[in-house]
Chains A and B, each alone.
Chain A
Amino acid sequence: MHIGIFKNYDMKSIPSNSIVVLLARIFLGGLFVVASLDKITDPQAFANAILQYKVVGPTFAMLTATILPSLELLCGLSLIIGLYPRGCALLLTVMLVGFTILVASALFRGLDISCGCFTQDPNASKINLQKILENCGLIILSVWLLFNKNQGSSLLQLFTKRQDNSV
């Protein structure tokens, strides 16, 4: 069985779990890459979104808006290509738990605000219970990736292997 980038790689040598882990990494990593883009393009708007949660002051909000999008982007990309997958999974878990607590506390305090997760548009849909459930699902996925003995195939290794095979 040969598919796309794996066409020069013997798929039988990869346990099926590796493919599942790889797909999970691509899904979770891709999600964080997409989430980071809007924040990176407008840190000021993201800082405003953080301030709406009324948890931190302006300076810390701007500091977060400066660093967090880059961290999301780096973790997302690293997870996709399989570079430091456990380190990425750890950071994504910590971030997701933090986001979930933040959203839950905002809901508890009755704040009617938009999430600021994927878009900084103030007219975007407001935070709700569904957001928390979505995050819980992602937390389960990232924890599974963190503690899974099989870290899945590294795309870097696959490409390297492909080159080796073609020589």
Chain B
Amino acid sequence: MRQTFYEALLLIAAAIILGFAYTYATKQGFFAKTQPAPAVALANIDMISLDQARGAFESRQSVFVDARHEFDFLAGHIQGAVNIPLKMYGTLQSRLGGVAKDKLLIVYCDGAECNSSIELSIKLLESGFTNVKVFFGGWQEWKSAGLPTEQ
């Protein structure tokens, strides 16, 4: 039986090495990098600053939409934000089912280096929402400013 445990430990060690080596080589998982925002999309979407985002948050007249993966969302997000990961928009757009189409939606992702907020904004506009803006500083800027967050 001891031999069996050694075999199992060897396989676990190999799996750890393989798993981290693979995700490092493919820049996935812990080693994932966000893509820079495309200039074309930037030109067509309304961007708002941190101050504007804070003003909208305090006025409570807007809905914040978090475009990041659920994994990141659960680790921390802007207080009251709705999570709609870009890849799951088709499935999860119902989370905005009760929101009026002319309501101000503020979409954000991790920060200035991600573009999922822009892509999600395009999808929201295509779905009929008329007042969509992107908070381009995103989660990182909001968190650094010490503004209300939740997990």
Contact = CB atoms under 8 A, between A and B. Distances in A.
Interface of A: 40, 42-45, 47-48, 51-52, 57-59, 61-62, 65-71, 73-75, 78, 84, 86-88, 90-91, 122-123, 146
Contact of A122 (B22, B32, B88): B88
Interface in B1-44: 3-8, 10-12, 14-16, 18-20, 22-23, 28-30, 32
16 contacts: A45-B87, A47-B29, A48-B71, A58-B74, A62-B29, A66-B29, A70-B15, A71-B12, A74-B18, A78-B11, A84-B10, A86-B7, A87-B4, A87-B8, A87-B11, A91-B12
* Residues of A contacting B: mostly: helix
Q: Which of B8, B30, B74, B91 is the most central at the interface, judged by chain A CB atoms within 10 Å of its CB? A: B8
Given A48-B71, A51-B74, A123-B91, 19 more contacts: A44-B71, A45-B87, A47-B29, A48-B85, A57-B75, A65-B29, A66-B19, A66-B20, A66-B23, A66-B29, A66-B30, A67-B16, A67-B19, A70-B19, A71-B15, A71-B19, A73-B18, A90-B5, A90-B8
Contacts, number: 94
A68 B23 CA distance: 12
Interface residues of B, number: 31
Interface of B: 3-8, 10-12, 14-16, 18-20, 22-23, 28-30, 32, 69-72, 74-75, 85, 87-88, 91
A49 to B, nearest CB: 9
